[in-house]
Structures are given as C-alpha cells and as structure tokens.
Structure 1
Amino acid sequence: MASGANIAVEGPRQRPLLALVFRLGSALALATMFMLVKLSHQEGVHITQILFARQVLVIPIFLGWLAWRGQLSVMRSDRLGSHGVRAVYGTIGMVFNFGAPILLPLAVATTLGFTAPIFAVLLSFFVLREHVGHWRWSATLLGFAGILIVIDPRGSTIPLTGALVGIGAAFMVALISIQIRDMTRTEHPIAIVTWFAIFSSPVLFIASLFGDWHISFDQVLLLIGIAVFGSIGQLLIALSLRMGQVSSVIVMDYSMLVWATLYGWTIFDSLPSATLWLGAPLVILAGTIIVWRESVLAKQRNSELAI
C-alpha cells in the first residue's frame, strides 16, 4: 500500500461524496441479493443451485465489464494457486452467507453479518499475532454482548443452527478479508472475484446435481437477479474504495439493516424482535469503533514511515 502522499499524486482522484453514494448503493444491492436468495429457497430452489447460478453467471458479467473497459489484461495472474485457495475459503463462506438468510429472518442474518470486524480483531490477534489495544478489545466485548442480546439464548425463537450459521458467515468474511488483503497487493479486485467464480463453478455444478434442475421460468429470473445484484454490489464496493477511504465508506454498510428490515416486513411478513433492536446498535457501535481505531492506527503508521 502506498503512503497517503503517493495516493494523492498517483492514485485515482478521491471523491468522498460519490464514494458514499456508491457504498450506499452496494448495501442496497447486496441486501436485495440476500432477499432474492431467501425468496428463491422458499420457491423451491436448492441452495447448491443458488450458489452455482450465482457463481457461473458472474463470469460473463465481470468479463464483459472488463472487456468493455479494455481491462481484460488484469485477469493475468502468477498466483493461480492463491486464487484456488481463495475459492475454497470463498465457497465455504458462500454456503454460510447464503445459508444465514435462508435459516434466519433477514434483519437478524444482516445484524450477525456485521460482526465480521469483531472476528477480524480476534484473527489479527491469534493468527497474525498483531497487537490489539484496549479500544478494540472493548469493542469486541461490546459486539459479543450485542450478539447475545440478538440471539437471546434463554427465550429466543431464533433457531440455534441459524444463529451458528450467521456467526460462521461473519467469521468466514473476516478470514477471507485477511486473505484478500494480501492478494490485492498484486491482483485486481475484480480479477479476484472472477477467478473465484471460475474455480468454484465446476465444484458447485457437481453439488447442484443433487437438486432438481426442473425449475420454472420465475425461478430462473430469481437466480439471474441474485447474480446481477451480487455483481452490482461488488462493483459498487470496488468503486467506493477507489474514490474514498475505507474508514469513511464502510459505515454505510450498516444501511443494509434498513433494507433487510423493509424486505422482511413487505415480502416475508416478518418484523424484527425487540431483542434485535437492543442488540443491533451494540454490534454496529462495536464495528464502528474497530474501523475508527484501525484508521487511527493506520494514519499513525503512515506518519512514522514518512518521518
């Protein structure tokens, strides 16, 4: 990663307001994708078919995007082995991330997904052996308190399996983020996503054969919608990170809870419980503190390097 001075000169022009708009758009697109995942499953589409359709349809979408921009060369890579490992982790992560909205109310699955920064702190400490100060440890404890309130083990109607899948999804997001952070030093973000789709599609196709592929036209439209909105969400995330700082735009991800609540209410006739409204702010506050603190530490490191 270049220093802040180099980014100002050599990197893309920073447009903070537009970056926020893109990030808000990505939150809406991804919330819509998860709504379509839940709806597809309720309409009888097996999760393996949803996963396969999501991945195989991404390939022409992103290759077409790169071709239109004249950037197909970014697909060249000397790290195909790393892309293969990314596909293994990513496929496991997709099973959890798509399983969560299937097993849980959309708002609950979305809130549990917000715990990814908390698990990133734990992975940084236990795996990367990074120093974690009192700010991030406090935020981690606050986040886990929020999880306990949301799940409410004593009297909740939330299924334990669904809760574990939702937490597992957040853990996998944190784990994959560490891997992607390393890969983006040499690989284009869209190339990472596209190679992931290319490597995972054959495996997911074999898994999908265990389901019934006699699906209706409406189900096909739902699967196409999942791929399209997922791709739009990823493109908007990439654009937001090119035009703004991570610490500035990532808080917009929490707007997903608004869309998830609206979709749950209007489409699935499900409103969040009181425990979610009590626990979700704690989870969101914990994630915000972690992102803020990491931004402060990054600026301190850059200042030390500039001296």
Structure 2
Amino acid sequence: MVEPVQKPLYALGLRLLATLALSSLIMLVKLTSESGVALPEILFWRQVPSGILIFAWLALRGETARLRTQRLPTHARRAMLGLSGMFFTFGAPILLPLAVATTFGFTTPIFAVILSALLLREKIGPVRWLAVVLGFTGVLIIAQPGHAAIPLFGAFVGIGAGFMVALISIQVRDLSRTEESLSIVFWFSALSAPILAAALPFYASAHTPWQWFLLISCGLMGLLGQLLLTAALRYGQVASVIVMDYSALVWATIYGWLIWDELPPTATWLGAPAIIAAGGIIAWREHLHNRAISPTATSSAE
C-alpha cells in the first residue's frame, strides 16, 4: 500500500477537533461514573458502538472489503494496549479533578522521547533530555508527593495515561502506513469489546434513562474522537500534531468549572507550564529533525 500523503496543516486541524471530542468524552465518562455506572461497563459501551456503526455504514455502501487486513496480530496488540490505556485515561478523571487529570496526560511527549530511546534505539540529544527533566519537574510540582492535595494513586493513574498514549500513538502511526482510519478503529472495537463483555456479569446493573443517555453519548463521542485522532496520525507526524493536545486543558478547565464548580489548584497552574513547555520543545525538535531528514517533503506532498 502506498504511504499516505502528508498534510501537516490538515493533520493539525484534525488533531484539534479530536482533542475537543476526547475532552468531551472524558467529561462524559466522569459524569457517568458519578451517576453510579462502573468503569468496565462504561468502557464496554464506549467501544461497542464504534465497531457496529462502522460496519453498518460500510455495509450500506457495499465497502466492507475496506476492513480486510493482513495485520490482524498487530491490531490485536494495539487492542490490548488500547484497552489498558483506556483504564488509565478514563480512570484518571474519575480519581482527580478534570484539569489535573488532563495536565498529567500532557506527559505523553515526554514518554515518547523515553520510548524512542529505549524501544527504537533513537539517539536523543541534550535538548530533548532537558525537556524530559523539565516535564517531570512539572509533574512533581503538581503531584506534590507527601501532600494530600492530589491523591497519590490518582497521580499514578494520570501519569500512566500519558505513558500509554505515547506507546499507543507509536503503534497507531505504524498501522496507519498500511491501514486506513476506519479499519484501525473497527478492529480496536471488535477485538477489545469481547474482553469487556466478559466482565459485564460482574459489573452490569440496571440503568436510568439519564445513565443510558450518558453511555450512548460516550460511545458516539469516542467514535468521533478516535476517527479524528487516527486520521490526524495518518496525515501528520506524531510529534508534530501532538502539540494540539494542550488545548485540552482549556476544555477541561471550562467543563470542571461549569459542571463541578472546580478550578485547578495553584500547584497545577505552576506545574502545567513546565509540562507544556517540555512537550512544545520536544515537538519542535522533532519537527526540525523531520525537516532535516526530508527537506523536500512539503513540495512532494502537494
């Protein structure tokens, strides 16, 4: 399959919209959990609509062949990682204020640097290592180990979410070289939903109309966000588009204020700039690195 044409600005726009959709999803997950629905069941209803709606849409168009893949084992690994990542990503806002959980998620670029060094054997320069140190300094400021302001377990889950997103982003980027966005999202849903279904007998309960509305909204918003996210990684480099994720702090702050009447604690305002600055430095260095390797990439893509 031909390598997808790179469209950097288009990818940035897709990632910005994906961030809004996923910020809304996290808000809905927090609301749903507070209404009394267990997290494993929330994740099940988050996953099921994606696969069903994608298959139904393609079936109506007679295009189910687009879901054929030669990389089912890779999709399976992505599904297992994605499933683990969702527990971290959706567990963090349940345990923490929305803006704090979102800020911990900004550690993704920092972990991407570490994973590149450990897994890809990439040579990391001093600037990016200094950015890693700066980012983790911000994490320590927010987490304030030894203080009760932020629950230690909640901080661990929030940081774990950043790590898992970095790991998954690398794998999705690899899949996007041969698979289209619909296929990646469909197989993630199809392979992870049965595992979540096996847990339903232990967690499922009767729901009110409001809870069903929240569950269905989680599924639809998750599908929209995942499609946009995967498409962004298809048309742009991970390190380039990931800078748009910082807009999530704006949405998390707005949602937290409007729905829960909470604003981020002082430590978050002090630590967040360090984490965001670290991610920005890493993204910029990656952008310069990519330009140095492929100086004619822009002209060849047009």
Q: Is the pair's TM-score, using the shorter chain for normalization, greater than 0.5?
A: yes
Q: Residues 123-167 of structure 1, C-alpha deviation per residue, up to 9 Å, x if partnerless?
A: 111222110011210110110011011111143411111100111
Q: Distance in 1 between matches of 2:8 and 2:158?
A: 34
Q: Map Cα deviations across residues 78-131 of structure 1 (whole Å, 9 max, x no partner).
A: 111111121111111111111111111110111111101111111111222110
Code of the residue aligned with 1:54 in structure 2: it is R
After TM superposition, the structure 1 stretch with the greater mean CA deviation from structure 2, 20-29 or 258-267, is 20-29
The partner residue of 1:85 within 51, 54, 77 is 77
From 222, 226, 229, give the equivalent of 2:221: 229
On the 8 A contact 2:176/2:234 being kept in 1, the answer is: no
Choose 46-55 or 236-245, whichever is displaced more. Answer: 236-245
User: In the TM superposition, what whole-angstrom CA distance separates every residue of 1:205-247 from its partner, at most 9, and x where no partner exists?
Assistant: 1112211321111111101111111111122334545666655
> CA shift at 1:250, angstroms?
3.1
Check the 8 A contact 1:87/1:199 in 2, yes or no: yes
Query: 2:203 — aligned with what?
Result: 211
Deviation at 1:74, TM superposition (A): 2.5
Alignment partner of 1:250 out of 217, 242, 246? 242
Select the residue among 46, 58, 63 that pairs with 1:54: 46
C-alpha deviation, 1:284, in angstroms: 0.8
Which residue is 1:113 aligned to?
A: 105
State the identity as a percent.
52
2:189 is aligned with 1:197 = yes
Alignment-derived partner of residue 38 in structure 1: 30
Contact 1:74 1:187 in 2 (8 A): no
- Is the deviation greater in 239-248 or in 89-98? 239-248
Letter in 2 for 1:235: L
Q: Tell whether 2:171 aligns with 1:145.
A: no
For residues 40 and 274 of structure 2, the distance between their equivalents in structure 1, rounded to whole angstroms, comes to 34
CA 1:259–1:304 in 2, change beyond 3 Å: closer, same or farther? closer
Once the 2 structures are TM-superposed, how far is the Cα of residue 186 of structure 1 from its aligned partner?
A: 1.8
Match of 1:264 in 2: 256
In 1, Cα distance between the equivalents of 2:238 and 2:83?
25
The answer to whether the Cα contact below 8 Å between 1:146 and 1:281 also exists between their aligned partners in 2 is yes
- The number of equivalent residue pairs is 298
Contact 2:240-2:287 at 8 Å conserved across structures: no
The answer on 1:167 being equivalent to 2:159 is yes
Partner of 2:177: 185
Give the Cα separation in 2 of the matches to 1:232 and 1:221: 17
Alignment CA distance shift 1:243-1:90 (3 Å): closer
Do the aligned residues in 1 keep the contact of 2:45 with 2:215 (CA within 8 Å)?
yes
Gaps of 5+ in 1: none
Contiguous gaps of at least 5 residues in structure 2? 298-302
Give the CA RMSD over aligned residues.
2.5
Q: TM-score, normalised by structure 2?
A: 0.90
What is residue 281 of structure 1 aligned with on the other side?
273
What is the Cα deviation at residue 69 of structure 1? 6.8
Q: Is the 8 A contact 1:264 1:270 kept in 2?
A: yes
Give how far 1:21 is off.
Answer: 4.2
Q: Is the 8 A contact 2:181 2:231 kept in 1?
A: no
Distance in structure 2 (CA, Å) of the matches to 1:130 and 1:278: 31
Q: Which moved more, 1:227-236 or 1:21-30?
A: 21-30
Report what 1:96 is aligned to: 88
